[in-house]
Amino acid sequence: MVQIPEGASKVDVLIIGAGPAGVMCATGLARAGINVRIIDKREDKVMAGQADGIQPRTIEVLQSYGLADPLLKHGNQMHMAAFYNPSPTGGIERTGRAADVTAPTARYPFEVTLHQGEIEKIFLDAMSEKGVQVDRAIVPTSLEVSSDPAILSDPQAYAVKVVLQHMSRPESQQEEVVYAKYVLGADGAHSWVRKTLGIAMEGENTDYVWGVVDTIPETDFPDIRNKSAIHSRNGSCMVIPREGDVVRLYIQVEQAAFVENGRIDKSKVTPQHLMEVASKSFQPFTISFPHEIMWWTLYVIGQRVAARYSLHERVFIAGDACHTHSPKAGQGMNASMNDTHNLSWKIAHVLRGWSDISLLKTYEFERRKYAQDLINFDKKFAALFSGKPRSDDNEDGVSHEQFLEAFQTFGGFTSGIGVHYEASALVDPTNQHLARHLRIGERLIPQVVVRAADARPENIQELIPADTRYKLLLFPGDISTPAQKEKLGDLAHALSAATSFRRRFTPPNAPVDAVFDIVTICTTPKEEVNFTDVPLALRSHWSKVWTDDEQLAGGVGGKVYETYGISTTEGAIVVVRPDGYVSAIAPLDGVKYLDQYFSGILHT
Amino acid sequence: MVQIPEGASKVDVLIIGAGPAGVMCATGLARAGINVRIIDKREDKVMAGQADGIQPRTIEVLQSYGLADPLLKHGNQMHMAAFYNPSPTGGIERTGRAADVTAPTARYPFEVTLHQGEIEKIFLDAMSEKGVQVDRAIVPTSLEVSSDPAILSDPQAYAVKVVLQHMSRPESQQEEVVYAKYVLGADGAHSWVRKTLGIAMEGENTDYVWGVVDTIPETDFPDIRNKSAIHSRNGSCMVIPREGDVVRLYIQVEQAAFVENGRIDKSKVTPQHLMEVASKSFQPFTISFPHEIMWWTLYVIGQRVAARYSLHERVFIAGDACHTHSPKAGQGMNASMNDTHNLSWKIAHVLRGWSDISLLKTYEFERRKYAQDLINFDKKFAALFSGKPRSDDNEDGVSHEQFLEAFQTFGGFTSGIGVHYEASALVDPTNQHLARHLRIGERLIPQVVVRAADARPENIQELIPADTRYKLLLFPGDISTPAQKEKLGDLAHALSAATSFRRRFTPPNAPVDAVFDIVTICTTPKEEVNFTDVPLALRSHWSKVWTDDEQLAGGVGGKVYETYGISTTEGAIVVVRPDGYVSAIAPLDGVKYLDQYFSGILHT
């Protein structure tokens, strides 16, 4: 057992860094009732600039925490992308427009831009409802993980010792020693945690240098409120509209002058210089910058991934600490938040004693592969975007068609919708054939369903909130027919047996739906369906029965079975992980299979 | 001029009563920057029971103030209605289900139930953002309106003297004298203001007595979360599901025992008695009431309308002070809020000096006619609902078909969508032919449009917020064609002339869009439209140009011209009043007509 000296602090999870990855993790853990502490070196929360675009999948994730509303309310929505290329008569002309998001199943088919401070505030408010605040002006100075196998294998042991320095206190009171069961390093691209663990970043920088400016321009450019990719003879530029009338411009600059050994000498360039470059690439449109520059920076594109994400499943790194890439693909903040969305429920399950500590291995397995895919995509995209446009005098340049094709091919990727987790103890593709189009390892495809008791239409994603529970979605077909009703009765019976996974893995004295939330989606028409036809053992509340029918107002709904590829007679049970990813599928009489599946990831 | 004695208070508008009508008015005036005070006799805001259903049109109105979100988030939605009638084998059986809302153009095709306290809180929060709080524990004791014609005709004169009594103060400090320019009596069915003005209620009570109980029942009745109309051999009953698991039951009771001279002796009945009656009408379904009774009452249905709504356009009455009717049609709170939604902007225009005091006459003209229609509808509906069901032994009873037909025929009415204001200085049906399906005098039909600058889809109702401005919706067709573009150019020219209504009625030094907010809805496809093609004189911001096209994600949009019956070549200018009602239509070259129309309602 770990001896904790007098005067030292204890915490179940210590999070270092209150950026998007850190606050997402803290929110998830605080909501799960986990004892969590989050520290940050900054005195205040970030007030402008930095990351911008929220992808469609990230909006879905935020909504799974009930947090998408403020984002949708205060953020700018990017629906359309516009492409400008050199015109034969000089200057640029619009080659075309296309949907910014090309993932057909996206629930929110647009990106949202909102400054990072506002996004973090959404989480700070949510954490604060659970009594968790960020401890600020604190830096870690040392971190040690126990090497004792007995301690490392005890999920409740305080295996990590961290020394903190409180910057704002008098010198003699600055040091604090903290013992934590688990530590997350969400401390950015220059991560102290990563360096302390000696984890290398693999990959390299490119030669591309870009400037970024946030301001309100005056212009007659008709696509100033669209995501516009401009390839001109005078360089490349990207327009990202933001909240209010603010626009972010990404401006390609000649690198030779500013870069030495991959490091930018920012003193050699000014935002005025960037805006002059931009003005030239907008010709024949006029653009001027009469308003305040809210934020600006210069950066060299680099694409690198951490060699490991964890030490002994006790200390983890997430977000920019694990991966750096081009901001133009709008991936940074999204990848970061999705890292810890993947991690937090797993830590909660281990701390609750529901799962073995080995569950935490799936974090690196799933998220590091994603980061590598991201870097590979980013290399291709950044090269295309930074390359010279094709023109009469440059036939090797990048053509509009090439660029558009890349833009659309990578739609699933840039939207975050196509993220696919490979097979593991958690992800079992065995019964993929029972729901042919609902890929095991991907997020549950949004669809509108109608509630049996009151005909209220709702997106099926609303039935799988990020509340740390596994969701069992039952698809029994038409429950007004004796055949399908009987199958549901048999299932109720099997799940009620003392030997069933549901009874075994739900802690004694806990509510029946503490670990497994069961929701039925039938096909009985809304005018006829009775929610009372679903056996009580499968229905913890009247709101747990839905039907795959069009909403009363028409237009949407009634396409779940078809979209998922589920037979209305054979049916299926779809298992959705707490983070919203489909992790297994069983036949309606597949309780035995589910016993086996859950025995691989849950404890009694 | 009115002499205001020392020690007396002054206010532009004094509102008596902080129920739904009062707080809606206070919110509208506070948002408009009007000096307003609202008093109420109650110490605290209402905490349960009372009014319940919010109609589709009222949700639209709330949304026009940006206030629908909390309602939609916290309220229960009623989408489906179910009808139960005597079954041949005894007890009741479901005869059918139908959409609760049968108004096809409703933007929110459902009713919301939420207790009155929560609804009032939405307004109290909105008022509070403008620094207005309810002054509580205050009753008025006298009210005098000047009889001096010079004072009455001066819109800025403090024509009304009201004496208030502060109940919670020591006796010697209770009295306060207030001089107000305008007074609103929103003080309920027993309105002190109405009685003080000597305004009679016209109409009568019926013989129908109903009990109401709010509780969480236990039941196997499959329509307990739908609006269910139950006609049984043991009496009638109505189910109104509410927030959470709460259900409101309306239960018909034998009146003889409780009523004397139209007044109910509530001591002779208990909620237990009501629940016993209900249980019998639910048979063969079982229903029990193991939980707390949150609220209950008994009432006699009465249908009455005030003979007048105003004295000299200085004192007004609104809400239950003007009309009482059956709660089951869900009209009370809706009619009340819509009364003052109609009134508040008119008072604001008069106080700002934009309009003559005579504009206020349209309040009674429009809202009293509506109340009369409401009472006529209510009589028919209450009789049908309270009548005995048709059965083998009662062939004169009300059949399911009769009831359903009435339910659907009155859909436009019960939803509030069909409210129609008759011709007046404000409502000019002259050019109805230019938008054949968009009825002048009715609310603007919701439709999805796509913003030209950024392809963001939005409901057209979002373009006409309740911000006290007139909206001019320009429908010029395809602005990428020279012919239509030229018409827009001519219009810009005409509106920019010093003699045009826009220049004449916009106060000097005020922003160009202070009185008239101009929005263009063209038909140019979203992939091609340039918002910069709309002349600057018609475009105060990039967000003011929209197109009638499908949204990028497909499914909705692109049907405005068709739905409104506007020709894409002829075009139209649709004038929407500040409260969201279409009040006039002009041809694209109809600035002269608009000069004339606005001269009838606005001042220079």
Tens-digit pLDDT profile for residues B557-593: 999 999 999 999 999 999 999 999 999 999 999 999 9
Coil, helix or strand at residue A301: strand
What's the average model confidence in pLDDT over A116-127? 92
Q: Quote the mean pLDDT of chain B.
A: 92
Query: How deeply is B554 buried, as exposed, middle or buried, from its count of CB atoms within 10 A (0-12, 13-18, 19+)?
Result: exposed
Interface test with B, best of A59, A69, A71, A80 (most B CBs within 10 A): A80
- The DSSP secondary structure of B413-445, one letter per residue, reads HHTSTT--PPPSSS---TTGGGGTTS-TTSBPP
In 3D, which of A256, A291, A289 has the Cα closest to residue A274? A289
Contact A78 B453 (CB under 8 A): no
Residue of chain A with shortest Cα separation from B225:
A454
Model confidence at A256, in pLDDT bands (50, 70, 90)?
Answer: low
Evaluate if residue B51 carries a pLDDT over 80. Answer: no
Query: How deeply is B384 buried, as exposed, middle or buried, from its count of CB atoms within 10 A (0-12, 13-18, 19+)?
Result: middle
- A453 reaches B (C-beta below 8 A): yes
Distance of CA B41 to the CA centre of its chain: 24
- A90 reaches B (C-beta below 8 A): no
CA pair distance B138, B175, nearest whole angstrom: 10
CA pair distance B130, B133, nearest whole angstrom: 9
Evaluate if residue A49 carries a pLDDT over 60. Answer: no
- B542 reaches A (C-beta below 8 A): yes
Model confidence at A392, in pLDDT bands (50, 70, 90)?
Answer: low
Model confidence at B197, in pLDDT bands (50, 70, 90)?
Answer: very high
CA pair distance B84, B264, nearest whole angstrom: 29
Contact B531 A80 (CB under 8 A): no
Torsion angle in degrees (nearest 10) through CA of A96, A102, A108, A111 = -60
Residue of chain B with shortest Cα separation from A541:
B245
- A286 reaches B (C-beta below 8 A): no
- A224 reaches B (C-beta below 8 A): yes
CA pair distance B177, B10, nearest whole angstrom: 9
Name which of B225, B454, B532 is nearest A453 (Cβ-Cβ): B225
Q: How far is B123 from chain A (nearest CA, A)?
A: 19
Asked if A327 is an active-site residue, the reply is: yes
ipTM of the complex: 0.92
Evaluate if residue B192 carries a pLDDT over 90. Answer: yes
Phi, psi of A180 (to 5 degrees): -125, 150
User: Please, which residues bridge with residue A13 across strands?
Assistant: A36, A182
> How many angstroms separate the Cα of A445 from the Cα of each of A452, A504, A577?
20, 30, 13
Q: Retrieve residue A401's tokens.
A: 């068609």
- The DSSP secondary structure of B46-92, one letter per residue, reads --S-S--EEPHHHHHHHHHTT-HHHHHHHSEEE-EEEEEEE-TTSSE
B43 compared with B519, residue with greater pLDDT: B519
Contact A80 B556 (CB under 8 A): no
> How many angstroms separate the Cα of A546 from the Cα of each of A137, A561, A574, B97?
49, 12, 15, 17
Greatest CA separation for chain B: 79
Region of B468 (left: φ > 0; alpha: ψ -120 to 50; beta: rest) is: left
Amino acid at B296: W
In 3D, which of A242, A269, A267 has the Cα closest to residue A252? A269
Distance of CA A58 to the CA centre of its chain: 5
User: By mean pLDDT, which of A95-109, A189-203, B117-131, B262-276 is the weakest?
Assistant: B262-276
How far does chain A reach from its first CA to its final CA, in angstroms?
A: 23
- B553 reaches A (C-beta below 8 A): yes
- A226 reaches B (C-beta below 8 A): yes
Domains of chain B plus CATH, in order, are 9-75+113-201+304-376 (3.50.50.60), 432-599 (3.40.30.20)
Contact B80 A531 (CB under 8 A): no
Name which of B109, B241, B553 is nearest A109 (Cβ-Cβ): B553
Cβ atoms of B452 and B530 closer than 8 Å: yes
> What does the pLDDT read at residue A29?
98
Chain A environment of B80 (Cβ under 8 Å) = 454-455, 526, 552
Residue of chain A with shortest Cα separation from B221:
A532
User: Please, which residues bridge with residue B40 across strands?
Assistant: B136
Evaluate if residue A493 carries a pLDDT over 70. Answer: yes
Contact A226 B455 (CB under 8 A): yes
Q: What is the pLDDT of residues B100-137, one digit of tens each?
A: 998 889 999 999 998 888 898 999 999 999 999 999 99
- B99 reaches A (C-beta below 8 A): yes
Interface test with B, best of A69, A282, A415, A454 (most B CBs within 10 A): A454
Chain B environment of A527 (Cβ under 8 Å) = 96-97
What's the average model confidence in pLDDT over B471-481? 98
Coil, helix or strand at residue B253: strand
Evaluate if residue B297 carries a pLDDT over 90. Answer: no
Q: Retrieve residue B370's tokens.
A: 């509506």
Beta strands in B137-245 (DSSP E): 138-145, 160-166, 175-185, 201-215, 218-219, 227-232, 235-241
Asked if A370 is an active-site residue, the reply is: no
Residue of chain B with shortest Cα separation from A240:
B454
**How, if at all, do strands A9-16 and A36-40 pair?**
parallel
Interface of B with A in 572-591 (CB under 8 A): none
Specify the residue for token string 């002048």: B440
B441 compared with B298, residue with greater pLDDT: B441
Listed in sequence order, the DSSP H helices in B134-187 are 149-152
User: By mean pLDDT, which of A202-211, B19-28, B33-42 is the weakest?
Assistant: A202-211
Residue of chain B with shortest Cα separation from A533:
B222
Model confidence at B391, in pLDDT bands (50, 70, 90)?
Answer: low
Exposure pattern of B144-176 as b/e (b: 16+ CB <10 Å)? ebbeeeebbebbebbbbbbebbbeeeeeeeeeb
Spell out the residues 6+ positions from residue B580 whose beta carbon is closer than 8 angstroms to its own: B60, B61, B64, B443, B444, B461, B464, B466
> What does the pLDDT read at residue B63?
98
Cβ atoms of A92 and A232 closer than 8 Å: yes
Amino acid at B65: Y
Question: What does the DSSP 8-state code read for residue B201?
Answer: E
